[in-house]
Amino acid sequence: MDIREIARRAKVSTATVSRTINRVPTVDPLLAKRVWRVVNELGYYPNRQARALVSGRSRIFGLIVSEITNPFFPEIVQSFEDLAVQHNYELLLTSTVHDPKRMEMSVRRMIERRVDGVAILTFGMEDSLIGDLRFRKVPLVFVDVGPRMPGVSNIRVQYQEGIREAVQHLAALRHTRIAFVSGPLALRSAVARKAAFEQSMQEIGLKVARELIIEGDHTMKGGMRALLELLSVRERPTAVLCSNDMTAIGVMREAFDYGIRVPEDLSLVGFDDIRMAQFMIPPLTTVQMSQTELANLAFQALLNHVESDSLSLKHKEYILHTTLVVRKSTAIAASSSAEEKAAKARRLVSRTA
């Protein structure tokens, strides 16, 4: 069943069927009705591949993520899908699983399917691959790491905003020894978060002790290791800010195993606000980097490139704000009360022994 079948049955030409389906206004209402009747009766669905072939637009947007199972991404994928449906697009989802080969294949697959644009949420991509895509004039949008070139947009995350809030929140709770567990410092976004922390501390005149800055790896295990390191420090921190939520969850788990209570003995702040953060016990205070908003910006960026031919060349920057979400993993510093401090010391000694 194809467009010709419809044309025959409606006693019009295929051109008229095509026009009707595409809602070209110049078609006679009478004929249109006849066409629609047949279309609905037969349950005719136009072939997208054929349309794409002739129109040169596939109405597919690619989305490259590092791992779908990374809790940061499901919300983004869902939002992206919602937008795709709304705008009559399809989503081509691809994951690199941290494998350069897979990244290359992702790009190849995008090109073979002739996507109309690609959102790259994998915090970095080889120049040659960007070149492959741009050579074919595929609009691109990155987060943070987008090169300044025509046809590619960039979403700039305001790490400083939320992290400053977090630091000041902790300071207001009378924490002064605040530790920071970073992400892998090969990641630009991790470096940015760490820098934001250091600046935020400096802004309010707090020292950041070197031994309180630990390099993690954005995993739960990394968070667990980090807390262990922090426990071996002479004067322990009373609060820990983490470069992402999974790290904070790791810290929380290890704290539990050592009988350190969150937030009574240790205040904890994450980053990202993945959904799981709400499910933790206690619910995690964290800096929110809205995944919905991120997806929105990315989709709009691609759409802008596609829809407007004239502007499509301009590099554009979008801003993604971050903000602190206070839940239950932060409290007044234990050390502010001598009694509590003593109690805590006793507990820690007995447990870590």
List own/partner pairs for 107-115 with CB under 8 A and 24 or more apart.
107/64, 107/132, 107/133, 110/62, 110/64, 110/138, 111/136, 111/138, 113/58, 113/60, 113/62, 114/52, 114/58, 114/60, 115/58, 115/60, 115/61, 115/62
Query: Given the rule CB under 8 A, which of 9-17, 28-36, 40-48, 263-271 is the region that contacts its own copies?
Result: 40-48
| Residue 77 interacting with its own copies (CB under 8 A) | yes
Q: Does 308 bind DNA (CB under 7 A)?
A: no
Q: Which of 23, 30, 232, 339 binds DNA (CB under 7 A)?
A: 30
Residue with tokens 């960026």: 301
Which DSSP symbol is given to 1?
-
- Picked from its own copies, DNA, none, the partner binding residue 352 (CB below 5 to 8 A depending on kind) is none
Cβ 4 to DNA shortest distance, Å: 6
Member of 54, 338, 349, 353 binding DNA (CB under 7 A): 54
**51 lies in the site for DNA, by CB under 7 A:** yes
Instruction: Decide if residue 22 touches its own copies (CB under 8 A).
Output: no
Residues between 5 and 24 with contacts to DNA, criterion CB under 7 A: 11-19, 21-22
Q: Taking CB within 5 to 8 Å according to partner kind, which of its own copies, DNA, none is near residue 307?
A: none
Q: Is 127 in the site for its own copies (CB under 8 A)?
A: no
What is the number of H-type helices and E-type strands within the chain? 14, 12
Q: Say if residues 239 and 268 touch (Cβ distance below 8 Å).
A: yes
**Selected binder of its own copies within 2, 28, 41, 67 (CB under 8 A):** 67
Residue 91 binding its own copies, by CB under 8 A = yes
Cβ atoms of 267 and 330 closer than 8 Å:
yes
Place of tokens 């609905």: 40
Measuring CA to CA, which residue among 211, 206, 212, 214 is closest to residue 172?
A: 206
Find, among 147, 156, 153, the residue nearest to 129 by Cα.
Answer: 147
Give contact residues for its own copies (rule: CB under 8 A): 43, 45-50, 52-53, 58, 67-69, 71, 73-75, 77-78, 81-82, 85, 90-95, 97, 102, 105, 108-109, 111-114, 132, 135, 220, 249, 252-253, 256, 275-276, 279-282
